[in-house]
Amino acid sequence: MVGQFRQSVFGRLGDTDRLDRGPAMRWIVGDHAIKGRTASTSQMGRFEAELLATDENFAALTELSGAWVDKVHDRRPPKMIIPNMDSSVSPTHGDQEGSTYNGHFGCTCYHPLFLFNQFGDLQRCALRPGNVHSTDGWCGVLEPVVARYKERDWRRYFRGDAAFASPDIYQFLEDEGFLCAIRLPKNQVLLESICHPLT
C-alpha cells in the first residue's frame, strides 16, 4: 500500500504510463517494483477508488500537509504564524465531476481554496466546484488550522484578499485572538475620501 501511495503521488507529476516503466519510479515505489514494474494504470485506479477514497483516508490526506508543517514547527518554532487564505483556479477539460464554468475566470474549472503560512507551506486546502464564491467553505479550511495553534504561544495574524472581508471571518478571527490584514473590496466612497494622499 505504501508503494502504491507513493506511485499515486509521484504519478501526478508526469505521464503515468511512462513512469510505471521508469527505473526512478520503480525505486520510489520500492519493494517488488525495483526489479519488475510498478502498478498498472488500472491497478492504480482501483487502489485510488477503493482505498484512498474512503472517508477515513480522505480525512487523513486532508490533514497530511498540516501534520508535516507541525513537525517542522515542533523542531524549529516560529515566533509568529500568519495563515494566508486564497482561492485559485484549476481549469478542467472534459466532463469532470464538480467542474463548472466560472465567469470571473472565464473557463470551466475547479475553484480550490488554499491556506498557506508565511513560509509558503500548505496548511490545508479544499477542492470546490468552479462556480462557488471565493469564501465558500472557509471555516472548514481555517478552523482546523486555528485549532492546531491554540496551545502555541505565538503571535497570530491572518492575511486575506478582499473576498475574505466578511463579518463572519472577522468575528471568528477576533474570537480566536488573531490580528488580521484583509484587503477591503473596492469602494468608491472610500476611494474619494482617501484620494488626496494617493496622488
> What pLDDT does residue 166 have?
92
Report the C-alpha gap between 42 and 48 in whole angstroms: 10
Is residue 131 domain-resident? yes
Is residue 64 domain-resident? no
Is residue 127 domain-resident? yes
- What pTM was estimated for this model as a whole? 0.71
Residue span of the structural domain in which 121 resides? 78-198
Which residue carries 496622488 as its cell? Answer: 199
Exposure of 157 by Cβ count < 10 A (0-12 exposed, 13-18 middle, 19+ buried)? middle
> What pLDDT does residue 54 have?
78
Long-range residue pairs from 141-145, CB within 8 A, at least 24 positions apart, any chain: 141/85, 141/113, 141/114, 141/115, 142/83, 142/85, 142/115, 142/169, 142/172, 143/172, 144/63, 144/66, 145/66, 145/83, 145/115
> What pLDDT does residue 196 have?
84
Is residue 174 domain-resident? yes
> What pLDDT does residue 134 have?
92
> What pLDDT does residue 43 have?
67
> What pLDDT does residue 29 have?
56
Which residue carries 484587503 as its cell? Answer: 183
User: Which stretches of the chain score pLDDT less than 50?
Assistant: 16
Report the C-alpha gap between 117 and 156 in whole angstroms: 11
β 107-110/100-102 pair status: antiparallel
In degrees and rounded to multiples of 5, residue 196 shows phi and psi of: -60, -35
Domain count, the chain: 1
Report the C-alpha gap between 112 and 86 in whole angstroms: 9
Is residue 4 domain-resident? no
Is residue 129 domain-resident? yes
Report the C-alpha gap between 12 and 40 in whole angstroms: 14
Q: Cell for 189?
A: 466612497
Q: State pLDDT tens for residues 6-61.
A: 666 555 555 545 555 555 555 555 666 555 655 566 666 666 667 767 788 778 88
> What pLDDT does residue 157 have?
96
Is residue 53 domain-resident? no
> What pLDDT does residue 182 have?
92
CATH number, residue 99: 3.30.420
Is residue 157 domain-resident? yes
> What pLDDT does residue 28 have?
59
Report the C-alpha gap between 31 and 178 in whole angstroms: 47
